[in-house]
Structure formats: structure tokens, C-alpha cells
Structure 1
Amino acid sequence: MSVSIDITGLPPERIRVVPSPLAELGMALHALSEPAHHPGLQGWTTSVSTRLDACLADRLCEADFLWRTTFSDVFTPSAGMPGRRTPPGATLAEELDLLDKLSDEQFVDAALEFTCQSTYAGRTVNRLDDPRARERALDLAATRGVQQVRFTKRLLDDPPAIRAWLRELLRECEEAFFADVWARVQHQLAADARHKTELMRRKGLREALASVSASVALDEAGRTVTVDKLTEGHTATGDGALTLVPTSLGWPHLWVLHREGWQPSIMYPVSSPGLAAPPSVEELTLRMSALAHPVRMRLCRHLARGAYTTSELSDAHGMSAPEISRHLSVLKKAGLITTRRHGRYVQHQLDLSVVSRLGGDFIEGVLR
């Protein structure tokens, strides 16, 4: 599974790496609402949460579905600008101005993504004009609770009013905590953007994407960027642009904007060693499937304690050597065991370092 971006014919100058203060604010709000996703930010999230004004905290809860379970495209309004070539703004104020330039239909569509529609990338109806689509959005909102129903009704009745409300809420967040965050991280993000840009100039896009994440790759023909994720999606830059957005608060998320008609974007975490070589979705599936078999689980009990030959495992488990070999082959293909030659014997042992990371790899994979 993956999200692919067709960049056929895209000039190199329209592939840029640009920090976004509004996107970083969105990541900050997500970390505050889902601290378990970001254990490395626990000190910061606790500090901000404890000193946050109660009134502001209550108002953040009114629209937290924009950043809690996902990352709404309202935080990347530059991608929705006509021509699909507009870069993120240099300041939060500039990006909030871009938010004002989205059409009401774009704003509503982005604000209700995932929670009040069944698909992300494609959209076939306008909830502002189609009563049936509006009713469907409200039905889906009802499954999320009264609070979201209330917000969705307000949004569908008066998009400009909700947009103004959201803009003021984000501005208050800047005053309350985000100005300090941005002052701390903007130089790091700018430095990373310069590094990736220079890498792209000297060694090409493939090397630059590899430095973004091992989960991002360019095909041999140089026409398709693929992001390894537990979802399927496809978009194309056309005559627009591709934007890479570094984030200091985003790990372990690797976010791809592939909304139809919007500029494709990839938001990636910087300075996150844990994401340097994440297992692919295929590797995760292979490892979990390998461990799901009861015989292989019993073999792992032996192999976790020491190195054993096929013959020893055959005797211990009352199975034939060929049967044991088949199970060992599955475990080895999944990268869960190591094999070494000791004299004329071949011994197998569980790779405890790989197995111990499996839970974290799974969480990272589904959150990526």
C-alpha cells in the first residue's frame, strides 16, 4: 500500500522544500491532543496543557477533530490556491491570509475530511448546494458526537463565520504558546530545507527524497514519487508543483496531501533517528504473519534462549526436519531470525533486537 505522486514533466525548480508555520501549528495542536503519539514531546505537551487558559482550551475542544485523528488540509491552504504553485507563507499571518482565499467549498471540504465524508482524495458533491450531501455529512458527524454535529451545522450554514472563528482561534494559539515554539524551531526547519534543496541540486531528487525518509522513493524512470503508507492514494502535479514541508513536531507521522485539485505536498519530520530506516508496510505484514502461526511461536520460545540447529528443533518439537526448515524459512524471510555456521552445523537464533522493536514499528507504521 502506498500513496503515489506522478511528477512527469515537472521542472526541478517547481520541487521545493519550504517550512510552514501554519502546518507546524497544526502539528503542535495534534501533539497536544494526542500526546501518546509523540512521547518525545511529553515534557512540552504537559507544560503547555497545564498553563493553557481554560477558555482557550475549551474552544480548542470544539474543533479538535481538525487535528486530533488526522491532519486537516486547512493547515495547508497554499496547496489549494489556483495554479497549484503557491508556496507556504513565511509567517503565520501570511498563511492565515491564504486560508481566507480558499473558496467556501474548498474550506468546507477540507474541514470535514475523514470525519464527515467517506473518501479523502475525491469529491463528487458540494455539501453547500446539495441537501442530500449535507444530510449525509450531518449523519456522519453524529457518529462523532454532539459537539461535531454542532460544529458541522455551523460550518455548513455559514462557512465564512467559521473560517473567521478558526483564524482567531489559531491567532490566540500563537499568542498563548506557538510564537515561542516557532521561534525555537524555525531556524532548524530552515536549515533542513536548505540542506534538502542543496542535496537536490547536487545529487538529484532521488537522493533528496531518500534523506526525507526511507519511506519515500522515486521510481527508476523519475516520474513517480511513492510514499509507503497503510493507505492507497494517487495524485499528479500536472503543471503545478511539489512541496516538501519539514516539521519539528511531526514524528512519527509522514503526511501526504493528495487531495484532487490541490498541490501535492509531503510533510516529513526532521531530526528523528527513529524514522531513518522504518520498516515498510510489506515488512511489517510479513513479520506479524510469521509470528501468527502457533508452531513458529513455539519455535521462537526456543530460539529466543539460544542458537539451535534444525535437528535439535526437530527433536524438541516432535516434527520432521523438513517441516522445521519450512517454518524457519518463513521466520528468516521476515527478518526475525539470524543464521550462523558453527563448524559443520548451522544454528538459528531469534533476533531479539528486531522482535523487541516490533510493537514500536507497528505503531509507527499505522501512524505514518
Structure 2
Amino acid sequence: MSVTIDIAGLPAERIAFAPSPLAELCMTLHALSQPAHHPGLVSWTTATTAGLDPCLADRLLEADFMWRGSFADIFMPFAGLPGGTGLPAATLAGELDVLDRLDDDRFVMAALEHCWLALYNEGGGPSPLHDPRARAKALETAAARGPRQLEFSVRLLDDPAGVRVWLRRLLEDCDEAFFAQTWKRIEPRQSADARHKTEVLRRKGLATALKEVSAALSVDEKHTTITADKMVNGNATATDPRIGDGLVFVPTNFGWPHLLVLHAPGWRPVVHYPLDSPELAAAPGSVELLQRRMEALAHPMRMMLCRSLARAPYTTSELAAVYGITAPEVSRHLAVLKKAGLLHTRRQGRYAQHQLDLSVVARIGSDFIEGILR
């Protein structure tokens, strides 16, 4: 399984490495909402969470589905602006200005990306701002996430202009509360890495530059297709005339183990790559328990389910829709994972939500956890 990027005919000068303050803000918000994904950041997440104003923390919960389980494309608006440079702005304010320039349809579709995963490579589906069926689907998916997500989604669809103002103010408040200081500390290293990889690309070629970015990236001999080894299928083109050509690689200090590839229809592709890959300490368990867990994970479909369940809680029906299998089939796979102690379930109103227990999965090994979260 992989995500491919068509670069046939792309001029070399349209491949760039550049930091993105807005993309990194997204990763800090993800780390705060999912600290189990980032054990190496425990000191930062603990201290930052403790210092958050309660009102700001509560506001973050309203829209956390945009960075908790998946990463909404609105955090890379430079890739979705037709006729733009295709490059991140140097400052957070500059990137928020670019975000303001996205039209409402593009903004809403990007914000509600979690609703359209099954249609991601089929044009993204109709806009929920204009299509009643798309609106109903978006709200149904949001309802399964909880009342906060449903309320936010209704607000977004009914008043996108108001939500855009609300979101910009929220991100500016995050900048004032913790991100500006964090970005000041990490930006020099990201800029240095971008300069270094730009030089590697110029002197040694794309294959070598990709190898330095991640072992999960490769390019074919004719240099027409970049392949990202991920537990998801997808494709993108770096020469789409609707948006303009270009491919950007964005470094992140907060991203490990996620290697993100933005491949939304009608957007320029972006590869968001981590600068660090710390090892996770493995703790031994009984042979019987290890065997049960490895057998549970050996099935290809259960591996795919784990990819989603590692990111966010899902209902049985949601998983069935995403992977194109029946709800009873999903239930049988979930039962095996639960018996192996890899899954926990909680009730959210009339919905039962399932999620992978990352603290248990981390004990199996860092290769597996990095693979499902890549």
C-alpha cells in the first residue's frame, strides 16, 4: 500500500523544502490532544497542558477533530490556493492570511476532511454547503464523534464565515499562549534542515534527497513517480493545471512518527516529514500474550483497521464504510483485537466507539507503531 505523487514533467525548481508555522501549530495541537502518539514529547505536552487557560483548552476541544485523529488540510492552505506560490509563508500571520483567501467550499471540505476519507481519491465528493446528502453525511459522521463535534460542524455549515473568524482567533490565541515561544526555538533548525535538503537535491539528486527525508520515500528510475510507503492507498499529481504545479517538503519537530502526504484532489501535494525518530522502549510480556497479539495483528484487514483506530475512536459502521466491508465483519475483527487486549471501547451517547490502546501497542515495538501512524 502506498501514496504516489506524479511528478512527470515537473521542473526541478518546483520541488522545494520549507518550514510551515501553521502546519507545525497543527502538530503541536495534535501532540496536546494525543500525547500517547508522542512519548518523546511528554515533558512539553505536560507543561503546556498545565499552563493552558481553561477557556482556551475548552475552545480547543470544539474543533479537535481537525488535528486529533487526522490532520485537516486547512493547516497547509498554501497548497490549496489556486494561482498561489505553493509555498508556506514565513510567519504564522502570513499563513493565516493565505487561509483566509481560500473560498468557503474549499475551506469547509478541508475542515471536514474526516468525513470524506472514503472519497479522497475520487474528487472529494460534493460540497456539504450545497448538497443536502453531503451535509447529512457530514453531520452524521460528526455526531459519531460526539456532541461538541456535531455542534461545531453545524456551525461550520451554517455560518462558515463566522467559524473562519472564530478559528483564526483560536489559532492566534494558541500562538500567544505557547506556540510563538515554541516556534522561535525550533524554527532555526527547520530552516537549516530545509536549506540542507535543498542543497542535497541540487547536488545529489532527488533519490538521495528523498532518502534523507525518510526511508519510506522513493522515486522510480525515470523520476516520474514518488512513492510513500504508507498503510493507505492514494495518489496525487504535482502538475495539476487546476491549482498549479509544485511539490513541497515541510519539516516538523513535533510530527514523529507521522509521515504525512497531503494528496487531496485539487491541491498541490505536500510531504510533511519528521526531523526526529526516537526509539520507544519495549517492555516484555508473556509469550502467550505476545502470540495472541501478533496473531491478532497478522490479518491484513485488522492491520488496516488498526491504522484508523490508532488515530481516533471509530464506530463499527464508520469503519465498515471506510474499508468497504460489512459491519458484522468489522465486529468480528474488533472482537479479536479486543481479546488480545489491544482495543478499548467507550460509549458516546448511542454510539460505541473503539480505539487502539497505544500504550499497549507501543510495547510490541516501535516499527509497528511507526508503521500504523506513518
Would you call these one fold, judging by a TM-score over 0.5?
yes
Where in structure 2 are the equivalents of 1:72-83 lying within 5 Å?
72-83=72-83
Does the 8 Å CA contact 1:116/1:141 hold for their aligned counterparts? no
Identity in percent: 58
Where in structure 2 are the equivalents of 1:150-299 lying within 5 Å?
150-238=151-239, 240-272=245-277, 274=279
Does the 8 Å CA contact 2:79/2:87 hold for their aligned counterparts? yes
Query: Following TM superposition, by how much is the alpha carbon of 1:86 offset from its aligned partner in structure 2, in angstroms?
Result: 2.0
Note closer, same or farther for the CA distance 1:85–1:110 as it changes in structure 2 (3 Å cut): same
**Partner residue, 1:326:** none
Does the 8 Å CA contact 2:79/2:270 hold for their aligned counterparts? yes
Deviations 1:142-197 (A, max 9, x none): 11111111111100011111011000000000000001110000000000000000
Query: Following TM superposition, by how much is the alpha carbon of 1:290 offset from its aligned partner in structure 2, in angstroms?
Result: 12
Taking the aligned partners of 1:62 and 1:116, their CA distance within structure 2 comes to 19
Deviations 1:51-83 (A, max 9, x none): 100000000000000100011111000000113
**Partner residue, 1:130:** 131
Taking the aligned partners of 1:118 and 1:138, their CA distance within structure 2 comes to 16
Q: What root-mean-square deviation, in Å, do the aligned CA atoms of Structure 1 and Structure 2 show?
A: 2.1
Note closer, same or farther for the CA distance 1:211–1:125 as it changes in structure 2 (3 Å cut): same
Does the 8 Å CA contact 1:117/1:137 hold for their aligned counterparts? no
| Helix, strand or coil at the partner of 2:261 | strand
Deviations 1:199-236 (A, max 9, x none): 00000011001000000111111110000000000011
**Partner residue, 1:340:** none
Between 25-34 and 75-84, the greater mean CA deviation after superposition: 75-84
Taking the aligned partners of 1:11 and 1:186, their CA distance within structure 2 comes to 28
Taking the aligned partners of 2:276 and 2:144, their CA distance within structure 1 comes to 38
Query: Following TM superposition, by how much is the alpha carbon of 1:242 offset from its aligned partner in structure 2, in angstroms?
Result: 0.2
Query: Following TM superposition, by how much is the alpha carbon of 1:292 offset from its aligned partner in structure 2, in angstroms?
Result: 6.0
Taking the aligned partners of 1:36 and 1:253, their CA distance within structure 2 comes to 13
Does the 8 Å CA contact 2:263/2:269 hold for their aligned counterparts? yes
Query: Following TM superposition, by how much is the alpha carbon of 1:357 offset from its aligned partner in structure 2, in angstroms?
Result: 8.2
Output the amino acid matched with 1:244: F
Taking the aligned partners of 2:161 and 2:237, their CA distance within structure 1 comes to 30
Taking the aligned partners of 1:171 and 1:85, their CA distance within structure 2 comes to 23
Does the 8 Å CA contact 1:84/1:240 hold for their aligned counterparts? no
Taking the aligned partners of 1:96 and 1:290, their CA distance within structure 2 comes to 44
**Partner residue, 1:300:** none
Does the 8 Å CA contact 1:2/1:232 hold for their aligned counterparts? yes
Taking the aligned partners of 1:29 and 1:75, their CA distance within structure 2 comes to 11
**Partner residue, 1:359:** 365
**Size of the alignment, in residue pairs?**
295
| Bigger-Rg structure (1/2) | 1
**Partner residue, 1:68:** 68
Taking the aligned partners of 2:109 and 2:158, their CA distance within structure 1 comes to 14
Output the amino acid matched with 1:366: I
Where in structure 2 are the equivalents of 1:9-24 lying within 5 Å?
9-24=9-24
Note closer, same or farther for the CA distance 1:117–1:363 as it changes in structure 2 (3 Å cut): closer
Query: Following TM superposition, by how much is the alpha carbon of 1:363 offset from its aligned partner in structure 2, in angstroms?
Result: 1.0
**Partner residue, 2:313:** none
Does the 8 Å CA contact 2:119/2:125 hold for their aligned counterparts? no
Deviations 1:117-155 (A, max 9, x none): 643343231111112211121112111111111111100
Taking the aligned partners of 1:61 and 1:181, their CA distance within structure 2 comes to 21
Does the 8 Å CA contact 2:279/2:366 hold for their aligned counterparts? no
Does the 8 Å CA contact 2:40/2:278 hold for their aligned counterparts? no
Does the 8 Å CA contact 1:19/1:88 hold for their aligned counterparts? yes
| Helix, strand or coil at the partner of 2:227 | strand
Note closer, same or farther for the CA distance 1:267–1:117 as it changes in structure 2 (3 Å cut): closer
Q: Which runs of 5+ in 2 are unaligned?
A: 281-293, 300-361
Runs of 4+ deviating beyond 4 Å: 288-293
Q: Please give the TM-score of this superposition, normalised by the length of structure 1.
A: 0.77
Q: Please give the TM-score of this superposition, normalised by the length of structure 2.
A: 0.75
Query: Following TM superposition, by how much is the alpha carbon of 1:85 offset from its aligned partner in structure 2, in angstroms?
Result: 4.1
**Partner residue, 1:4:** 4
Does the 8 Å CA contact 2:252/2:274 hold for their aligned counterparts? yes
**Partner residue, 1:148:** 149
